[in-house]
Amino acid sequence: MGKARSKKVLVIGWDAADWKVIEPLMQEGKMPALKRLMESGVYGRIQTLDPPLSPMLWTSIATGFRADIHGIDGFVEPLPDGTGLRPVTSTSRKVKAIWNILNQEGKKSNVVAWWPSNPVEPINGVMVSNLYQVPTKPIDEEWPMMDGTIHPKEMEEELKQFRVHPLEITLKMAVQFIPNLATNKELRKEKLTFGMMKVLANAASVHAASTHLMENTEWDFMAVYHDAIDHFCHLAMKYHPPYRPEIPEEDYNNYKEIVESGYRFHDMMLDRTLDLIDEDTTVILLSDHGFHSDHQRPLYIPKEPSGPAFEHSPYGIVVMSGPGIKKGGMEISGSSVIDITPTLLALYGLPVGKDMEGKVLYQAFEDTTAVDFIESWEKVDGDSGMHDKNVQEDPWAAQEALKQLVELGYIDPMDDDIAEQVVKARRESDYYIARNMIDGGRVKPALEILERIFEESKISRYGQRLVYAYLSQGQYQQCQNLIEELRTIEKQELKRIKEEKKNAKDEQDKDLGELHPVLWDENVEEPMYLDYLQGLLYLAMNKPWLALPLLEKVQKKNNTNADVPFNIGKILNQRKKYQMAEKYFIKSLAIDDRNARTHYGLGLSYLRRNKLELALDELLTSVNLNFYVPGFHYHLGETLVRLEDFENAAQAFEVAIRFMPGMTKAHQWLHDIYKNKLHLPEKAEEHELFIQKNIRGEMVIVTGLPKSGAAKVLNMLENGGQEVLFGKLDQEEDVLIGGEENLDMIRRLSTDEQFKADSRDKAAKVFIQHLSNLPADLNYKVIRVIRPIDDIIFDQKKVVQKLKKQELPMDIVAKLEARLNLFNEWTRSRPNIWVLDLEYNDLVEHPLDCAGVISTFLGKDLDVKEMEKAFEK
């Protein structure tokens, strides 16, 4: 066991808490307890996982695993007998939570209202389930405590008294949230008023139970989860200031204070909670995701399962304070919800499971000594206090909670056909698992799930995800086919909706407008996401000239999606139209100013236009928002070099190579800075040696079938400023003659060390059939020129006639295809090959765009204008 940093830890969960709401409140002195907690420790943003659905996330927080491993895959699960659905239960969790691990280590835990924790687990300590606070009876009836709500059972009576019924909430309490209740009696009958009272009562119940346990029990670990901020926000974020004209003014005036009051009430509860801890306790307060509170608030919530999650934003809050934690209110970055369990284990001095995805948040610790690891906590025997495998939860107990989920819009009301509903729910859970896998970088297994559920259901949002998955895997043909299929599906859907609208008009159905956003615009022919997906596909296929008009079209219609102007900016940067790119990056930041890659894109534009101070600002912001991207640090370093701030530049490059040790260019910069600017020859030598010993050289290879235009691309590269090693001579090649001269040069790379050393960073044209002869210990950036085989054969025939050689063989097509297979085998066989495919016809028609694509692919600032000219020649 390692050294413990803390004896006791209190984790407080505030579902959906977001700095964007908190910051202005704190500035006005309205959240003093949170401010004190921040100032005494560290704070920062915490990244959520996709999909941002709370039961999955809070289980990832408590386990360090993603949903496909921890087993909590949505809001509902089928009843064991398959006769319906119930809210997801703790019995579905397949791995140990932090309290189970601590149980094995002899520690006592109190867990209150964690989602999901019903039925409670038999831990050493007290567990109060997430159904504890949910009222099941009218106020004048006995409110029984369901089985599975409290562990140990003998504490049921004691804790029963701390539940607050929504109808106990008094007018004096309620007017803090809806001031007009004081004078407007009609308002007291509104559904939203009752909703607010219910959320407040739930929060008060959880808080009363947790404070009671804090005062009356011994514990080493305590976790308290509040869902109230999320629920207040889903109820009333649309009324939160600033006012939006789409919202009825009367409603705005009635409900505009609900969200703020919800946050302030949490601060008051926090104040009390902090009063009850001792000096040995470390506090971690966090949310699982944020909540859009500004212009990003959606005006339309899709009528689909988990539709309300559209209101969630990707970053929540994290604050840590107490023993083991740095003091002074320092901001930390790069935290993810999946890091919490490893961080808790590190606080207790326990080893972290190697199978856990998250990392220890060392930047929050005073002592940054590395923690120990074990293979897996799942393999450690002992009394973990987990459920017996045979435990089943009483489904009746869960019905009220299920109703609440329906009311919040997280799940659909039950269909008459229960079996169908169960199938739909299973499919939906598979969809969440697939998204969660993609978010964690495991795209291939997710693809299989998405393909299956889309095939079964033809639900367009499954198809949309599948498009993104295909894109990330470079499966462009499947992607194109799917976009076409989605186009057909959407056309049919639109026809159906328009029909419905026509009928609804007759019936004066005013609510229909909420059904689908396309109803707001009579002229819509298909949803614009299809153009967006098509634009992204073209972008991925290196056809920016086709992507740009589509993205611009989408941008004109929808100015709420920050990704659209970001991608346009990216294309313009590639085209070296930096000034125009800046405009789009700024547009994107106006929608979402916390996107690190947009600040980075803008910084890069400024850097290329020599606006160094502005570049520095943007690149520093990108690094602050996401510290873990080596490219951000690299370009920050480049900017600092140009500002002649060599010390900080060296620091930036050092960070870049810490994340990507093989980043040759950063080592080269460091060598140069230490040698010539900072005069630290030892350090300079260190990097020189590192490059020599550890960094493989990188060559740029241009290849393709004979007569596909590879030689022209090599000329293009040379004109852009790329040094060429061999293959410049556009020798006539044909499918019969293998290019012996070319092969000789390639062999020399393996036999002549000096020649090999000289090849670093240079370009060469290599015949496709010779690629496998390239030495395996170099890195290769390969530009493959693709041309239709018929065109190649046509040109080959001309070569054959010119050289007066024999006729082309009958099996020429098969021979050419065999060579393409050789290429595929070669790229698959080695991990150090990166490929850019360019079509010959695109090179001819859009040489400037292609030059930009090549320059970006190579990570070099080539002269694209010169490259374009060379190709035209």
Partner 1 sequence: MSKQPEKKEFKVTHEGSLGVLALGAVGLKLWRQAVEENKKAKKSKADNGKGKK
Q: Which parts of this chain interact with partner 1 (CB under 8 A)?
A: 32, 36-37, 39-41, 161-162, 164, 170-173, 176, 200, 204, 207-212, 215, 261, 264-265, 268-269, 271-275, 283, 321-322
**Which residue, 43 or 871, has its beta carbon nearer to partner 1?**
43
444 forms beta bridges with none
Give the H or E element holding residue 201. Answer: helix 191-216
Q: In a 10 Å sphere around its CB, with 0-12 CB exposed, 13-18 middle and 19+ buried, how is residue 694 labelled?
A: exposed
- Minimum distance between the CB of residue 195 and partner 1, rounded to whole angstroms? 17
| Shortest CB 172 distance to partner 1, Å | 4
Q: Which is nearer to partner 1, 208 or 789 (CB)?
A: 208
Nearer to partner 1, 170 or 523 (CB): 170
The residue type found at 169 is I
Which contacts qualify for 169-177: CB closer than 8 Å, 24 or more apart?
A: 169/197, 169/200, 169/201, 173/200, 174/200, 176/257, 176/261, 176/265, 177/257, 177/258, 177/261, 177/262
Cis peptide before 809 (omega within 30 of 0): no
Task: Write down the least CB distance from residue 323 to partner 1, Å.
Answer: 11
Of 271 and 866, nearer to partner 1 (C-beta) is 271
Closest to partner 1 by CB, 41 or 148: 41
CB of 318 to partner 1, least distance (A): 16
- φ, ψ for residue 508, nearest 5 deg: 55, 40
* Beta carbon nearer to partner 1, 270 or 713: 270
CB atoms within 10 A of CB 540: 15
Q: Of 274 and 479, which CB lies nearer to partner 1 in the complex structure?
A: 274
Residue with Cβ nearer partner 1 (266 or 576): 266
Q: From residue 36, how far is each of 10, 22, 30, 32, 273 by CA, in Å? A: 16, 13, 12, 6, 13
Based on CB atoms, which residue is closest to partner 1, 208 or 524?
A: 208
- CB of residue 321 vs partner 1: minimum separation in angstroms? 5
Closest CA to 646 of 622, 626, 675: 675
With respect to partner 1, which residue has the nearer C-beta, 274 or 799? 274
Contact, 491 vs 483, CB < 8 A? Answer: no
- For residue 517, count other CB atoms closer than 10 A to its CB: 16
Instruction: Report the residue number, 206 or 862, with the smaller CB distance to partner 1.
Output: 206
User: What beta strand segments (E) does 262-392 contain?
Assistant: 281-286, 290-291, 312-313, 315-321, 330-336, 352-353, 373-374
Closest distance to partner 1 from the beta carbon of 56 (Å): 29
CA distance 113 to 15: 12
Q: Which is nearer to partner 1, 41 or 55 (CB)?
A: 41
What is the number of other CB atoms lying within 10 angstroms of the CB of residue 154?
8
319 or 771: whose CB is closer to partner 1? 319
CA–CA distance, 674 with 670 (Å, rounded to integer): 6
Q: Of 573, 542, 871, which Cα lies nearest the Cα of 711? A: 871
Smallest gap from Cβ 22 to partner 1, in A, equals 17
* Cα–Cα distance measured from residue 37 to residue 42, given in angstroms and rounded to the nearest whole number: 8
Shortest spacing between CB 169 and partner 1, in angstroms: 8
Helix (H, G, I), strand (E, B) or coil at 699: strand
Round to whole Å and give the CA distance between 189 and 212. 33
- 104 neighbors 418 (Cβ within 8 angstroms): no
Return the residue matching tokens 């369901």: 146
Whose Cβ is closer to partner 1: residue 98's or residue 200's?
200
At how many degrees (to 10) do helices 443-457 and 460-473 cross?
150
User: Least CB distance from residue 186 to partner 1, whole Å?
Assistant: 21
CA–CA dist 793, 734 (Å, integer)? 10
* Structural tokens at position 646: 């060599």
**Closer of 39 and 190 to partner 1 (Cβ):** 39
* Closer residue to partner 1 in complex, CB, 322/358: 322
Contact between 270 and 32 under an 8 Å Cβ cutoff? The reply is: no
CA atoms within 13 A on the CB side of 572: 23
Residue 262 or 630: the one with the smaller Cβ distance to partner 1 is 262
In the bound complex, what is the minimum distance in angstroms from residue 200's beta carbon to partner 1? 8
Strand order in the sheet with 221-226: 150-151, 125-128, 109-112, 221-226, 8-14, 281-286, 315-321, 42-47, 330-336
For partner 1, the closer of residues 122 and 322 by Cβ is 322
Instruction: Please check whether residue 631 is in contact with residue 659, taking contact to mean a CB–CB distance below 8 angstroms.
Output: no
Closest distance of CB 203 from partner 1, Å: 8
Closest approach of Cβ 261 to partner 1, in Å? 8
Minimum CB separation of residue 19 from partner 1 in Å reads 19
Could you tell me the smallest distance in angstroms from the CB atom of residue 50 to partner 1?
34
SS3 assignment, position 836: strand
DSSP per-residue letters across 584-615: HHHHHHHH-TT-HHHHHHHHHHHHHTT-HHHH
CA-based nearest residue to 191, from 206, 178, 209, 205: 178
Output the smallest distance, CB 275 to partner 1, in A: 7
C-alpha angle with apex 24: 286 to 17, nearest 5 degrees?
20
Quote the least distance from Cβ 368 to partner 1, whole Å: 21
Q: Single out the residue of 477, 510, 479, 512 nearest to residue 496, CA to CA.
A: 512
Note the residue count of the chain.
873
Q: Give the nearest distance from C-beta 256 to partner 1 in angstroms.
A: 17
State the Cα–Cα distance between residues 756 and 63, nearest whole angstrom.
50
Shortest distance, position 133 Cβ to partner 1, whole Å: 12
